[in-house]
Amino acid sequence: MNAVLDFLQLHIEMVYIVILSIFLGIEVISRVPAVLHTPLMSGANAIHGVVIIGAIIVMGKAESDNYLALVLGFLAVILGTLNVVGGFVVTDRMLEMFSKKKSK
Amino acid sequence: MQASLLSIAYLIGSVTFIIGLKMLSHPASARKGNLVAAAGMFLAIAGTIFLYEEGGEKLHNYGWIFSGLLIGTVIGVIAARKVKMTAMPEMVSMFNGMGGACAMLISIVEFNHLTHSPVNAVLNDTSVSNLVESIATLITQASTGVHVGGKLLIILLGLIIGTVSFAGSVIAWGKLNGKVKDFAFKGQHIVNLTMLAVIVILATYLVAVINDSYVMVNENGRYFTHGSIGVLPEINIAFYIILALSIAYGVLFVMPIGGADMPVVISLLNSFTGVAAACGGFLYNNPVMLTGGILVGSAGTILTILMCKAMNRSLKNVLIGSFGGPKAGG
């Protein structure tokens, strides 16, 4: 219990960021038209691909004889990149279709 | 210099995510918003690769990193370009699952790193001259112990949320594909809740054990700590049980939900992955992961609720209403 409290104390700035970001996320999204629900979901999906940064750090810190970390990190980098790149490309394709429909 | 450049790259990244999400929620600017967010992501990734350093040491294994990035990019672009318009939602689900799996793998590596860290040596020497030194070491180790407990908590959170999201997304993908059929059995929600409870209990146990293993004073007055936390086999076992249960929970959580409700579930899992990414932000003290993850977590949750409203249903209805079997799932 103490450990958790101390951890919070150590990272209190981050806790503030978390709380403010929660409200920001709610505010930013709250007035979105229904047609944009799916593209927005897809766009948000691409943004949480930011987890790739963690994968890069894991990969970059792994000692060159620690094969478990190397292999898992390598997989993580591939999967994270898939998430980011695929996410943004799919979103772009969805929105492309959407704008074509509108102009017709 | 480099560190401050990296901070600025992260700052720009965070801001572009916010602006990107904002623009994505208006029809006229949606496409540009996506590009803005993508540019910010590129900047944050490039900054991490070239500028990140920890304790004055830069990252290595560039060969692995770049080949990983290359493979991921090629597969990602091809998959996203080839997919049929009607199959878009399942593709999103698959990519979401990849993100969850990424968070899961990070947690596994970091856990192994944590349990095999060499900081804790056995202090058995009780001679007076060494005692002072031993106590001093103990105090520093006790403070690392505090740190380790919190770190483990974050690792476990990332593991559980990421894994549930991964397993759930793969099932959702299979369902939209028609490969996985609806499946429910009587009392499934009880099984699910029990699994969740076991996961929480095991995680609490792990954090408690790790904290205790750092400072131990036995009856002879000898101060010692465990040589390495990894020495305790039950810790590793508990960790992998949590992993397995999280996979099972993710599967059983999505299994009974009807195919028509899948977009809602994908959106929910999407916000889960966001939270898992934010755990990584805590772990590495990385602001862009934190803001990006939490932003998606909260925006995704609201989006999920909005999607339910658009279908004239409540989230509870979607998630629990279909537990009764196919007749209630319609």
Same domain, A45 and A94: yes
- Supply B165's token pair: 């999201």
Residue B246: pLDDT over 90: yes
pLDDT in tens, B52-89: 988 778 888 899 999 999 999 999 999 999 998 888 88
Closest partner residue to B80 among A33, A49, A93, by Cβ? A93
Phi, psi of B103 (to 5 degrees): -60, -40
- Confidence tier at B169 by pLDDT (50, 70, 90): very high
DSSP code for A48? G
Regarding whether A69 and A97 lie in a shared domain, the answer is yes
pLDDT of residue A102: 59
Q: What is the pLDDT of residues B270-299, one digit of tens each?
A: 999 999 999 999 899 899 999 999 999 999
Lowest model confidence (mean pLDDT) among A97-101, B52-56, B189-193: A97-101
**What does the pLDDT read at residue A90?**
94
Q: Is the pLDDT of residue B326 over 50?
A: no
Q: Do B289 and A53 touch (CB under 8 A)?
A: yes
Phi, psi angles (nearest 5°) of residue B215: -125, 115
Displacement of CA B146 from its chain's centroid (Å):
22
Provide the number of CB pairs (under 8 Å) joining chain A to chain B: 360
Q: Which of residues B189 and B48 earns the better pLDDT score? A: B48
Mutate to test the interface with B, among A15, A37, A79, A92 (most CBs of B within 10 A): A79
Q: Is residue B328's pLDDT more than 50?
A: no
* pLDDT exceeds 50 at position B2: yes
Q: Would you state the pLDDT for residue B177?
A: 87
Show the tokens assigned to B133: 């030194």
pLDDT at B250 over 70: yes
Q: What is the pLDDT of residue A31?
A: 82
Which residues have CB under 8 Å from B238's CB, separation 6+? B202, B205, B206
Same domain, A51 and A102: yes
Question: B177 or B326: which carries more pLDDT confidence?
Answer: B177
Same domain membership, residue A46 and residue A1 = no
pLDDT of B226 > 60? The answer is no
Nearest CA in chain A to B158: A51
Q: Which of B21, B24, B108 sits opposite A72 (nearest CB)?
A: B108
Question: Domain residues of chain B, as ranges?
Answer: 87-329
Q: How many folded domains does chain A comprise?
A: 2
Residues A5 and A53 in one domain: no
Instruction: Report the pLDDT value the prediction gives residue B30, as an integer from 0 to 100.
Output: 92
Comparing B99 with A32, the larger pLDDT belongs to: B99
3-state SS record for chain B = CHHHHHHHHHHHHHHHHHHHHHHHCCCCCHHHHHHHHHHHHHHHHHHHHHHCEECCEECCCHHHHHHHHHHHHHHHHHHHHHCCHHHHHHHHHHHHHHHHHHHHHHHHHHHHHHHCCCCCCCCCCCCHHHHHHHHHHHHHHHHHHHHHHHHHHHHHHHHHHHHHHHHHHHHHHHHHHCCCCCCCCCCHHHHHHHHHHHHHHHHHHHHHHHHHCCCEECCCCCEECCCCHHHCHHHHHHHHHHHHHHHHHHHHHHCCCCHHHHHHHHHHHHHHHHHHHHHHHHHCCCHHHHHHHHHHHHHHHHHHHHHHHHCCCCHHHHHHHHHHCHHHHC
Give residue B133's pLDDT band: very low, low, confident or very high (50, 70, 90): low
| A1 DSSP 8-state letter | -
- From residue B182, give the alpha-carbon distance in Å to each of A41, B262, B299: 23, 11, 28
Residue of B nearest to A17 (CA): B291
Give me the pLDDT at residue B321, please: 56
Domain assignment of residue A80, given as a range = 33-104
| Residue B215 predicted with pLDDT over 80 | no
Q: Closest Cα of chain B to A37: distance in Å?
A: 7
Instruction: Choose the closest CB to A3 out of B65, B96, B207.
Output: B207
Q: Report pLDDT for B217.
A: 39
Q: Do B20 and A43 touch (CB under 8 A)?
A: yes
Does residue A55 sit in the same domain as residue A104?
yes
pLDDT over 90 (residue A63): no
What 3-state class would DSSP assign to A33?
coil
> In 10 A of CB B128, how many CB atoms?
6
Range in B113-122, B126-135, B167-176 with the lowest mean pLDDT: B126-135
Would you state the pLDDT for residue B294? 95
Q: Which residues of B touch A47 (CB under 8 A)?
A: 17, 20-21, 37, 41, 274, 292, 295-296
So what's the pLDDT on residue B208? Answer: 81
- Residues A61, A103: one domain? yes
Tell me if B74 sits within 8 A of A30, measured CB to CB.
no
Q: Does the structure show a pLDDT above 80 at A67?
A: yes
Q: Is residue B9 scored above 80 in pLDDT?
A: yes
* DSSP-assigned letters across all residues of A75-91: HHHHHHHIIIIIHHHHH
Q: With CB atoms and an 8 Å threshold, state whether A44 touches B274.
A: yes
**Over residues B178-195, mean pLDDT:** 84
Residues A60 and A73 in one domain: yes
Q: Do B88 and A38 touch (CB under 8 A)?
A: yes
Q: What is the mean pLDDT of chain B?
A: 83
Contacts of B95 (CB under 8 A, 6+ apart): A45, A46, A49, A82, A83, A86, A87, A90, B76
User: In this predicted structure, what is the pLDDT of residue B121?
Assistant: 39
At B323 the pLDDT is 47
| Same domain flag for A24 and A45 | no
Rounded to whole angstroms, the Cα distance separating B147 from A4 reads 9
- Quote the tokens at residue A51: 């987890």
pLDDT at B134: 53
Contact flag A87-B95 (C-beta cutoff 8 Å):
yes
Residue A7's pLDDT band, with cuts at 50, 70 and 90, is: confident
Residues of A in contact with B141 (CB under 8 A): none
pLDDT value of position B138: 53
